[in-house]
């Protein structure tokens, strides 16, 4: 594969955030544009800093009025300005990632993360052994807190025989299945059964089981490690080197409105509760924005010498070498799932987007890739949600989501809107990669 330069086309608004959110004290809305205030430029306009600080302490402070009183235009004191469909008022604005010169770009880590999900899906969907391990592990996750409490009640953290009995009872399985679940549990927690009588080992088991029942950040790691490599040095995605994209112009950014939609009856509606609207604003790259980046394969990691240590041969190597096939296979699965969802709940415009997206996928040139990038895609698409659902069944999957707060509320569905038309949505496939010729 070597190094390949890709041209990236945004098929919908794409937001990759910094974690920073702007409020009304950071900017001003004026004539369909939002201006990020540069305090250095404000103070350079002969403004008294103490006077400004006192004014901003007033909860009713407004940049519009403050600037008007001093005959200042927002463009005189801003860092940059972006088109915005309406006044954000008290709603926050999520900042998108930019370089030191306020030029937006796409981080290589975001691209690689999307590729990683597709590779994980490809390898897991073709390996029944890994699917069985994942199913056992996720079933243990659902019951982890109950297992911990029962083992603690019986004061049996060092007693493997008791563990098997509790597993059989809690998960309603036979003795053979309980043994398999016990082996998976010890594997995930890195526990040796023959050392459980040692205080340090059973204390490690106690701490690990307690953490398993409450840490969603840790939830997917055992499955990833089982499939992609047991530590960072042996991780398959070491072989793929993805650069940050070249920057786009600030003119390629806009601010859009993001609504949370919720299921009501047989349809999706904008979520409003107790007079509040579940919406935020976000800076995003506009549709049809073009940037380029490089992807390189580290060929040494697939040599015979490296393979003796890493074990990247066969299916793992194929999944990475055939990157377009791997990513596009996952994209096709998402498209089918999303078409079905939006058809069921009556959002024809979004369903039709996926119909068109499927045409785009089928029309990609050789080596072209369709990926989901950035915020708003939904946790399920950025993990292996459908495989978890198949492994656990609908009820087990619901319990897993509820236990770890995955997706917050199983009956909400987030999508991005820019009034008056839907132009993007929560489960969007944000980018199309084309080989640069």
- Residue 325 neighbours by CB under 8 Å, 6+ apart: none
CA distance 16 to 69: 36
SS3 282: strand
- Residue 62 neighbours by CB under 8 Å, 6+ apart: 24
pLDDT interval class at 416 (50, 70, 90): very low
pLDDT interval class at 277 (50, 70, 90): confident
- Looking at per-residue pLDDT, the higher value among 210 and 435 belongs to 210
Peptide bond preceding 340: is omega within 30 degrees of 0, i.e. cis?
Answer: no
CB burial of residue 330 (10 Å; 0-12, 13-18, 19+):
buried
Which pTM value belongs to this model? Answer: 0.83
What residue has token string 């296979």? 329
Longest dimension (CA), the chain: 80
Q: What φ, ψ does residue 37 adopt, rounded to 5°?
A: -70, 135
What residue has token string 């709603």? 91
CA distance 233 to 43: 50
CA distance 412 to 270: 10
Note the residue count of the chain.
437
Q: Are residues 228 and 235 in contact, defined by beta-carbon separation less than 8 angstroms?
A: yes
Residue 173 has pLDDT above 70, yes or no: yes
What residue has token string 């990833």? 224
- Residue 174 neighbours by CB under 8 Å, 6+ apart: 168
Report the relative pairing of strands 93-96 and 279-285 from DSSP bridges.
parallel
pLDDT interval class at 3 (50, 70, 90): confident
Chain segment 201-257, per-residue pLDDT in tens = 999 999 999 988 676 656 678 888 888 888 888 999 999 999 999 999 999 999 998
Res 424: pLDDT: 31
Residue 428 has pLDDT above 50, yes or no: no
Percent of the chain with pLDDT strictly greater than 90? 47
pLDDT interval class at 414 (50, 70, 90): very low
CA distance 398 to 387: 13
Chain segment 310-367, per-residue pLDDT in tens = 888 788 999 999 999 999 999 998 899 889 888 998 888 888 988 999 999 999 888 8
DSSP assignment of 3-39: EEEEEEEESS-B--EEEEEE-TTTEEEETTEEEEE-H
- Angle in degrees, 0-180, between the axes of helices 128-153 and 160-171, rounded to the nearest 10: 110
Q: What φ, ψ does residue 342 adopt, rounded to 5°?
A: -75, -25
CA distance 84 to 29: 8
Q: Where are the domains of the chain?
A: 24-87, 128-228
DSSP assignment of 223-239: HHHHHH-SSGGG-GGGG
CA distance 121 to 131: 10
Other CB atoms within 10 A of residue 188 CB: 23
Structural tokens at position 61:
């402070």
CA distance 204 to 189: 8
DSSP code of residue 408: S
Mean pLDDT value across residues 107-125? 91
Res 338: pLDDT: 86
């Amino acid at each position: 594969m070597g190094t390949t330069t890709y041209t990236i086309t945004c098929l919908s608004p794409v937001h990759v955030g910094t974690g920073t959110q702007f409020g009304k004290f950071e900017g001003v809305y004026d004539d369909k544009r939002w201006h990020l205030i540069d305090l250095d430029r404000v103070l350079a306009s002969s403004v008294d800093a103490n006077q400004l600080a006192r004014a901003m302490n007033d909860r009713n402070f407004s940049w519009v009025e403050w600037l008007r009183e001093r005959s200042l235009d927002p463009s005189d004191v801003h860092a940059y300005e972006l088109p915005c469909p309406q006044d954000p008022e008290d709603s926050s604005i999520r900042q998108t990632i930019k370089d030191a010169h306020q030029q937006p770009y796409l981080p290589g880590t975001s691209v690689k993360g999307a590729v990683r999900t597709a590779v994980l899906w490809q390898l897991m969907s073709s390996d029944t052994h890994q699917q069985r391990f994942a199913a056992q592990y996720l079933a243990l996750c659902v019951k982890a807190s109950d297992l911990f409490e029962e083992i603690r009640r019986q004061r049996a953290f060092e007693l493997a025989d008791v563990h098997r009995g509790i597993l059989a009872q809690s998960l309603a399985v036979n003795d053979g299945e309980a043994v398999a679940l016990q082996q998976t549990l010890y594997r995930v927690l890195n526990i040796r059964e023959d050392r459980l009588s040692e205080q340090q080992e059973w204390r490690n088991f106690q701490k690990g089981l307690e953490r398993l029942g409450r840490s969603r950040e840790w939830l997917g790691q055992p499955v990833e490690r089982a499939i992609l490599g047991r530590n960072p040095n042996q991780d398959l995605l070491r072989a793929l080197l993805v650069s940050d994209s070249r920057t786009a112009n600030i003119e390629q950014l806009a601010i859009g409105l993001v609504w949370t939609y919720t299921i009501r009856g047989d349809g999706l509606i904008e979520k409003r509760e107790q007079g509040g609207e579940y919406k935020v604003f976000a800076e995003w790259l506009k549709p049809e924005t073009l940037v380029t980046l490089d992807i390189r394969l580290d060929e040494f990691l697939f040599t015979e010498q490296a393979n003796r240590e890493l074990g990247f041969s066969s299916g793992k190597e194929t999944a990475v070498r055939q990157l377009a096939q791997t990513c596009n296979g996952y994209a096709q699965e998402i498209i089918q799932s999303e078409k079905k969802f939006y058809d069921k709940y009556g959002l024809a415009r979004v369903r039709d987007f996926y119909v068109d997206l499927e045409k785009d996928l089928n029309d990609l040139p050789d080596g072209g890739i369709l990926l989901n990038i950035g915020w708003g895609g939904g946790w399920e698409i950025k993990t292996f949600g459908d495989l978890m659902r198949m492994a656990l069944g609908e009820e087990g999957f619901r319990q897993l989501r509820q236990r770890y707060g995955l997706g917050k509320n199983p009956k909400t569905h987030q999508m991005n809107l820019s009034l008056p038309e839907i132009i993007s949505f929560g489960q969007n496939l944000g980018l199309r990669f084309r080989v640069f010729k």
